[in-house]
Chain A
Amino acid sequence: MEGGVSYARMPRVKIRELKDDYAKFELRDTDASIANALRRVMIAEVPTVAIDLVEIEVNSSVLNDEFIAHRLGLIPLTSERAMSMRFSRDCDACDGDGQCEFCSVEFHLRVKCMTDQTLDVTSKDLYSSDPTVSPVDFSDPSATDSDNNRGIIIVKLRRGQELKLRAIARKGIGKDHAKWSPAATVTFMYEPEIHINEDLMETLTLEEKREWVDSSPTRVFEIDPVTQQVMVVDAEAYTYDDEVLKKAEAMGKPGLVEIIARQDSFIFTVESTGAVKASQLVLNAIEILKQKLDAVRLSEDTVEADDQFGELGAHMRGG
C-alpha cells in the first residue's frame, strides 16, 4: 500500500456549474493519478470530427491554398456522432480511403464576391452532407445584429475574387492534431482547506488585519464589518501563492493561518470548444478510459522473456 493510505475506490461527484460549453464539478475520494488520467483523456483522446482533406477548385483570394486548408481544419464541427463513427484508417467500407458515410462527412464551399463591399467568407458558408455535423454556432441567440451571427471568418474577398472547394471531415483525436481536441481547457486543482488561528488573529489591530487580507492577490478573505473578524469568503479563489503565509511571517505571526491542499478532493473545470457538450466530454472521457483498460485486460499477447531476451530474462526474474 502507498504510505499505508487506502483510498476509497468509489469517488463522489458533485456538479457546481453546467452549461453547454462549460462545466465545473468536484471529484472526491480519489487520487491525483485518476484525476489526471481523466484530464489527459479529455484533452487528447476524446474523438471529434474535423476537416482533414481539402480539394480546392478555385482560389483567387489573397490567402494561399494551404493557408485556407489549415484554417478550415481548425473550425470546430459538432461531433455528437464522433464516438459512433469509424476512424478512416479502420474503415472497411472504403478500404481506409476515408471517403464514405461511415467515416467521413463532406463539405462544400462556393463563394464569389460580386460587389465593391468586402465579403467575409465564414463557417456559415460551409455546407455539410450530414446535418448532424456542421460548424459550431457561437452566435448569441438573443442578439439580433448580424455582426454576432456571422460565424468564424475563413477569408475575406474583394470584387471578382472567388473561393470554391470541397472538404472531407474525418474522425480523429487531439493526440494526432490539436484540431481534433474537443477541449479548450481542462484543469483541476486540489481543494484548499483554510484554518485561521482566531486567538492569534485577535492580537492584530484592524489596520494589520486589513493589510493581511489585502496581501492575498485573490479575494479569499474578508473582514466582517460588524464583528471585525477575518473570515474565509472563497477558499477556492486561493491559488497556492503563499502570499498570506509570507505576510503573516513578516508580521511576526507565523501560524496565523493554516492552508492544506486536500490530496483526495479535486475541483475540475472543463471548457469545451463547442464540438461536444462539456458534460458529454466528461462521459466520453470515462468511456475511453474504460476501453483502454478493457483492451489491456483482454489482451493475450505474452512473450516468454527467457526465450526472447536470453540473459535479460534473468534480470526480468530479478535474478
Chain B
Amino acid sequence: MELGSYSDQSKSTFSLVDEDHTFANSVRFTLNQDPRVTFCGYSIPHPSDNRVNIRVQTTGDPAREVLKDGCQDLMLMCQHVRSTFDNAMTDFKRTQTNTEQEMDTK
C-alpha cells in the first residue's frame, strides 16, 4: 500500500504487509545507492504487527517507480548470486574430483 500524494509523487511511504527486516533492509541499501534517491529509510511500527513502512524521497522521479527499480536491481543481483553460486559449486566439485583422482594414482 502506497501512502503518498498525487500532487508530489517524489515522496511516498510504502506500507508492506507480511514483510520484515529481511526485505526492508536490503531494499533500503539498494535504494540508497540510487542517485535519484535523496532519502530512504524504513521502520517497523510494532514487532507484533507484520508490517514495514518504507519511506522513499527522490530528486523528482515518482517514488513508486524508483522503488520498483530498486526491487528489479535486487532481483538481478539475486539472479547473479544464484548463477555465481552454481558455477562455484561446479568448480568446487571439479576440483574435488581432480584431487581424489590424484590421491588414487598415488
Contacts and interface: CB of A to CB of B under 8 A. Distances in A.
Residue of B7, B33, B81, B85 with most partner-chain A CB within 10 A:
B81
A256 interface: no
Interface residues of B, number: 50
A302 B64 contact: yes
B23 A292 contact: yes
Nearest to A31: B29
A37 B68 CA distance: 18
B19 A292 contact: yes
A11 B80 contact: yes
A18 B89 contact: yes
Main secondary structure of the interface of B (DSSP, over half): helix
Contacts of A30: 77
A240 interface: no
Nearest to B90: A15
Contacts of B77: 9-11, 30, 34
B3 A303 contact: yes
Contacts of B7: 306, 317
B78 A286 contact: yes
Contact of A41 (B22, B67, B80): B22
Interface stretch (A80-88, A123-131, A159-167, A293-301): A293-301
A293 B82 contact: no
Interface string A276-296: 000100110011011011101
Given A15-B91, A302-B64, 5 more contacts: A18-B93, A290-B78, A293-B71, A293-B74, A304-B4
